[in-house]
């Protein structure tokens, strides 16, 4: 009997991945099916659906599920879920597909899966704007008017939704390929069942996850070590899907984490893993999504710091923490979110404290603090600037400097309030 938290939804890990003879037969059948090209985000989503990462979902959402998730964080059956997981299709494809048809789901020439279409529904401009305002609009833009003044230019998640094809297809999927992730990130990429086996073998019960999309700097290290103090261990879980232009590639971030774990952690208190999603940059809602699918990996506590999964100044500094206090917790067994937030204040290096500290523990002023931010780190390194003392470990900075020396197409990195300390 496992001591880990149960998978979300009360159905165990929902595995939709085929193997062996079943896989061969489905691939052969897929040759005869209409092909639907998926976006990078949808390709990551189908892998999570197939491997149990998005349990209890069996496929892409119906209109009732989409509506319920946008409006009140609940699937049509009353199960908590924070972010839509949908599959878009062109008008031509949607018109040609009948309810009950099966389709082959492709990404960049690779057959990723098949789906039985149980529903198709139009996503008008109004529907897309509704999703964006419900899911991506935060306290940083208090009105819809403020939000739309900047969202299309400055929010990659909003652009992703607004540029979707005009129809959504819903239905259960079968996963036929995990793409390049198992080979490109061998030893890092793992399915929920694989992570659970590792945790069970170590005898862990209370486990914290650290979400990473930036290289691991001193603040991340400090957050992970706080988690180790209060949990059995920490799962450093990196996004290995697509990011926005200017972000640092996953393979470079993995090297940075390896260096830190080898030199600054007790090895048997840390597990490093990777997952295949694209960032949505949905801030508070994405913090909830991170906790929801981490529960499927066996995680009991999700580290939530300042501006979790944010972009620009769209979200309040700790909005991703306070949202956990506002969501519904259904009473029916398995339908509520069990993974809890491990809320940690803004952390930094304080010269007067002579060590890492937070707003809760340090009485000194901004002038005494080395403010640690992934955005600031990327900006300074990309521009060849000198980093202040204690911003990062030298082993990590050496890896990053070597990466930036080889970058010829540099993207301007915009600073925002959460990166500079101007936001309160």
Crossing angle (nearest 10°) for helices 125-135 and 63-72? 40
Residue 386 appears among annotated catalytic residues: no
Question: Of 131, 97, 90, whose CA–CA distance to 114 is shortest?
Answer: 97
Q: Which residues have C-beta within 8 Å of that of residue 292, sequence separation ≥ 6?
A: 8, 80, 81, 82, 337, 339
Dihedral sign computed on CA atoms, order 358, 360, 366, 368 = negative
Active-site annotation holds for 401: no
Query: In the Cβ-directed half-sphere of 63, how many Cα atoms lie within 13 Å?
Result: 11
Tell me the range of 208-222, 305-319, 320-334 where mean pLDDT is highest.
320-334
Interatomic CA distance for residues 305 and 314, integer angstroms: 16
Pull the structure tokens for residue 290.
């991170």
Q: Does position 415 have pLDDT exceeding 80, yes or no?
A: no
**In this structure, what token pair is assigned to residue 316?**
């309040």
CA distance 320 to 208: 16
Please tell me the distance from the alpha carbon of residue 298 to that of residue 294, in angstroms, as a whole number.
7
At 183 the three-state DSSP class reads helix
At 363, is the pLDDT very low, low, confident or very high (cuts 50, 70, 90)? Answer: very high
As given in the structure block, the two tokens for residue 264 are 């600054």
Of 214, 285, 369, 393, the active-site residue reads 214
Distance CA 107, CA 358 (A): 43
In the block, tokens 């206090």 appear at 325
d(C-alpha 215, C-alpha 248), whole Å: 7
- All domains of the chain in start order, with CATH: 20-123+164-177 (3.10.400.10), 187-420 (3.40.50.620)
For 185-215, the pLDDT digits (tens) are 998 999 999 999 999 999 999 999 999 887 7
Contacts by 135-139 with C-beta closer than 8 Å and gap 24+? 135/70, 135/83, 135/84, 135/161, 135/282, 135/285, 136/161, 136/280, 136/281, 136/282, 136/283, 136/285, 136/314, 137/314, 138/283, 138/284, 138/310, 138/314, 138/315, 138/316, 138/319, 139/315, 139/316, 139/319
* Confidence category of residue 424, pLDDT binned at 50, 70, 90: very low
Question: Is the pLDDT confidence value at 307 over 80?
Answer: yes
Closest CA to 417 of 287, 303, 318, 322: 318
- Provide the 10 A C-beta neighbour count for residue 369: 21
- Give me the catalytic one of 16, 41, 191, 213: 213
- The two structure tokens encoding residue 237: 């879980």
- What phi and psi, each to the nearest 5 degrees, are found at residue 398? -60, -40
The predicted-structure confidence for 81-109, as pLDDT tens digits, reads as follows 999 999 999 999 999 999 999 999 999 99
What is the distance between the alpha carbons of residues 299 and 342, in angstroms, rounded to a whole number? 11
């Amino acid at each position: 009997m496992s001591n880990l938290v149960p998978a979300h939804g009360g159905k165990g890990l929902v595995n939709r991945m085929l193997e062996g003879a079943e896989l061969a037969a489905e691939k052969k059948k897929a040759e005869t099916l209409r092909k639907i090209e998926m976006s990078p985000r949808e390709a990551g989503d189908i892998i999570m659906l197939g491997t149990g990462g998005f349990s209890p979902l069996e496929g892409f959402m119906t209109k009732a599920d989409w509506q319920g998730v946008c409006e009140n964080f609940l699937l049509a059956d009353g199960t908590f879920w924070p972010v839509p997981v949908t599959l878009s299709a062109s008008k031509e494809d949607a018109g040609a597909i009948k309810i009950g048809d099966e389709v082959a789901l492709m990404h960049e020439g690779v057959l990723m899966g098949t789906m039985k279409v149980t529903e198709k529904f139009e996503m008008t401009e109004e529907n897309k704007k509704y999703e964006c305002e419900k899911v991506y609009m935060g306290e940083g833009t208090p009105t819809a008017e403020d939000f739309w003044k900047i969202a299309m230019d400055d929010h990659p998640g909003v652009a992703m939704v607004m540029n979707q094809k005009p129809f959504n297809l819903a239905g259960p999927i079968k996963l036929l390929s995990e793409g390049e992730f198992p080979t490109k990130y061998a030893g890092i990429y793992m399915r929920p069942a694989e992570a659970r086996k590792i945790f069970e073998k170590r005898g862990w019960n209370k486990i914290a996850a650290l979400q990473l999309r930036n290289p691991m700097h001193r603040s991340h290290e400090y957050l992970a070590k706080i988690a180790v103090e209060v949990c059995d261990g920490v799962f450093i879980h990196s996004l290995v899907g697509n990011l926005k232009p200017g972000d640092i590639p996953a393979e470079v971030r993995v090297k940075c984490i390896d260096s830190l774990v080898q030199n600054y952690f007790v090895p048997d208190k840390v597990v490093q893993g990777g997952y295949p999603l694209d960032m949505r940059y949905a801030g508070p809602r994405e913090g909830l999504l991170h906790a929801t699918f981490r529960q499927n990996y066996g995680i009991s506590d999700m580290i939530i710091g300042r501006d979790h999964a944010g972009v620009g100044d769209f979200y309040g500094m700790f909005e991703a923490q306070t949202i956990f206090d506002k969501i519904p917790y259904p009473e029916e067994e398995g339908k509520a979110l069990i993974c809890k937030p491990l809320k940690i204040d803004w952390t930094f290096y304080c010269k007067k404290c002579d060590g890492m500290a937070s707003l809760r523990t340090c009485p000194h002023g901004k002038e005494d603090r080395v403010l640690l931010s992934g955005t600031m780190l990327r900006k300074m390194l990309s521009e060849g600037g000198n980093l202040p003392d204690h911003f990062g470990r030298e082993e990590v900075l050496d890896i990053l400097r070597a990466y930036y020396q080889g970058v010829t197409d540099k993207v301007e990195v915009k600073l925002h309030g959460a990166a500079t300390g101007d936001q309160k």
